[in-house]
């Protein structure tokens, strides 16, 4: 498995590493949204800084946004942060904020996990 989900108080952190397939990317979304802790978190951080290669494509991002519409019913206030350094991943994930998707969870992208976490300290 190319990902792990860690649950902290009010936060979930999805860490990806190595090769990540589009299917694994979608599986992580499903696992997170179906977990009993999902409704109680305020923040989601997706750490993609350890990804070496991937087959994630626009369809996988679209799937993520579609799942967000359903999961919003259970967690309407979630803030999403991403840590990524791969230019291709950054471009793909920025597309989740395109107006055509109507993504209920606006996504902000940072170069490190620390920067993503720091952005939550409001």
pLDDT tens, N- to C-terminus, the chain (122 residues): 799 999 999 999 999 999 999 999 999 999 998 899 999 999 999 999 999 999 999 999 888 877 776 666 777 788 899 999 999 999 988 877 666 656 666 788 999 999 999 998 75
Q: Quick check: is 122 in a domain?
A: no
What six digits make up the tokens of 37? 């802790």
Show the domain range for 25: 3-115
pLDDT, position 25: 94
What pLDDT was estimated at residue 52? Answer: 96
Bridge partners, 45 (sequence order): 13, 81
**pTM of full prediction above 0.85:** yes
pLDDT score at 83: 97
Cβ within 8 Å of residue 18, ≥6 positions away: 2, 50, 51, 52, 53
Question: Looking at the 3D structure of the chain, how many domains does it have?
Answer: 1
120 in a domain, yes or no?
no
Q: Is residue 121 part of a domain?
A: no
């Amino acid at each position: 498995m190319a990902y792990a989900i860690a649950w902290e108080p009010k936060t979930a952190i999805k860490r990806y590493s190595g090769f990540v397939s589009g299917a694994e990317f979608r599986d992580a979304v499903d696992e997170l949204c179906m977990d009993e802790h999902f409704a109680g978190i305020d923040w989601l951080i997706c750490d993609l800084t350890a990804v070496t290669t991937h087959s994630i494509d626009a369809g996988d991002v679209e799937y993520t946004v579609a799942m967000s519409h359903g999961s919003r019913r259970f967690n309407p206030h979630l803030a999403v942060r991403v840590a990524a350094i791969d230019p291709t991943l950054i471009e793909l994930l920025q597309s989740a904020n395109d107006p055509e998707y109507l993504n209920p969870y606006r996504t902000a992208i940072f170069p490190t996990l620390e920067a993503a976490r720091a952005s939550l300290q409001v």
